[in-house]
Amino acid sequence: MRKVSAIFFLLIAHLSSHEQLSSYNFRSLTTSDGLSDGIVRAISQDKYGFVWIGTSYGLNRFDGLSIKKFFFRNGDTTSLPDNYVQSLRQDRKGNLWVGTRKGLCRYDYIHDCFINYSSTNSLTINDIRDDRKGNIWLGTSSGLWMLEKKGTVQRLTGRDSVEKKLRCSITRIIVAESGNLYLATPCGIKIINPETLEYEEIIYDPGAKFSISSNDVYSVVIDTSGYLWAACAHAKSLLDKIDLKNRTVKHYERFTDPEKKWSNNTVLSLLIDTKGRLWGT
């Protein structure tokens, strides 16, 4: 199980001294502060400034002072579909989406409840992304799905060979400016154009110039220069910088001084902030 037991982000790049670290104010939220559980699986900030925290037991909304908790209630279709919150995402329209081990829901700000999508109840929702056309893409334990406007989900169809390759577990989705979807999976990085169904894989290939460090990819992100970053598992190099244009990969084996005890050099998730800096957890 991939656990995040506290809400901390480690800045991988541009932080090399204690003075730089001290310029950031860190505060932790724990069960003593009202958090529903100590294992945090997802975090997101909405358009109103609320910080939403998904845990292995319940969803939490933090307003800067207090925490409100949300849970699954048996027989209540306006509650969470499950208490194990796997992913959170605010889309371009400001909607807050919640992915759980038993399906997807959307928060209803007016009525302070959740709109459930029953067609997703058999899916574990690992990641949620929307594109410029308003499509909602779901990375699940059983592959890539798209939420239709009528509330049902479907796979990409058109090419059986491509559809089969997208049936593996997907842990992270990135929507590029081109419209391509970059998918982090235990079978490498999969790239798909949902319009043309053009498909490509980036996999571990020992000895090859264009090879990632491991096929088990936790997370991917594209930086402001167009480089694709991948957090890999079970490999000497745990972070790869991928030049898609020149088809080369630079491997990073360590992010901090080995004498520092606050990093175990395992990266589960990646983020590019508004200043173009790369963060990892």
pLDDT one-digit tens code per residue, 220-277? 999 999 999 999 887 666 789 999 999 999 988 765 555 554 455 677 888 888 888 8
What's the mean pLDDT when you consider all of the chain? 86
Of 77-81, 100-104, 202-206, the range with the lowest mean pLDDT is 202-206
Domain boundaries, the chain: 1-33+157-281, 34-127+140-155
Upper half-sphere CA count for residue 123 (Cβ side, 13 Å): 34
| pLDDT greater than 70 at residue 70 | yes
Q: Is domain 34-127+140-155 annotated with CATH 2.60.40.10?
A: no
CA gyration radius, the chain: 19
Fold assignment, 1-33+157-281: Methylamine Dehydrogenase; Chain H (2.130.10)
Residue linked to tokens 């709109």: 115
Question: Over 80: is that where the pLDDT of 64 sits?
Answer: yes
Q: What pLDDT is stored for residue 191 in this prediction?
A: 96
Q: One fold for both 1-33+157-281 and 34-127+140-155?
A: yes
CB atoms within 10 A of CB 280: 24
Tokens 């997807």 correspond to what residue?
A: 104
Closest Cα partner for 172 from 200, 144, 193? 144
136 vs 259, residue with greater confidence: 136
Structure confidence at residue 149 (pLDDT): 80
For the chain, give the longest Cα–Cα distance. Answer: 57
Asked if residues 51 and 61 have their Cβ atoms less than 8 Å apart, the reply is yes
Q: What is the mean pLDDT of residues 11-40?
A: 67
Rounded CA gap, 60 and 71, in Å? 9
Mean pLDDT of 16-20: 41
118-122, 130-134, 250-254 — which is least confidently predicted? 250-254
Comparing 201 with 151, which gets the higher pLDDT? 201
Lowest-confidence range among 141-145, 170-174, 248-252?
248-252
Structure tokens at 184: 């982090």
pLDDT value at position 279? 80
Tell me, what's the pLDDT at 192?
94
**CA-CA distance, 29 to 220, in Å (whole number)?**
26
Give backbone dihedrals phi and psi of 9, rounded to 5 degrees, phi first: -120, 135
Percent of the chain exceeding pLDDT 70 equals: 84
Q: Are 272 and 278 spatial neighbours (Cβ–Cβ below 8 Å)? A: yes
Contacts of residues 187-191 at CB distance under 8 Å and 24 or more positions apart, as own/partner, are: 187/215, 188/212, 188/215, 188/217, 189/217, 189/220, 189/228, 189/230, 189/242, 190/165, 190/166
Question: pTM of the entire structure?
Answer: 0.85
Lowest-confidence segment of 41-45, 90-94, 157-161, 253-257 by average pLDDT: 253-257
In this predicted structure, the answer to whether residue 60 has a pLDDT above a threshold of 90 is: yes
Rounded Cα–Cα distance for residues 18 and 257 (Å): 12
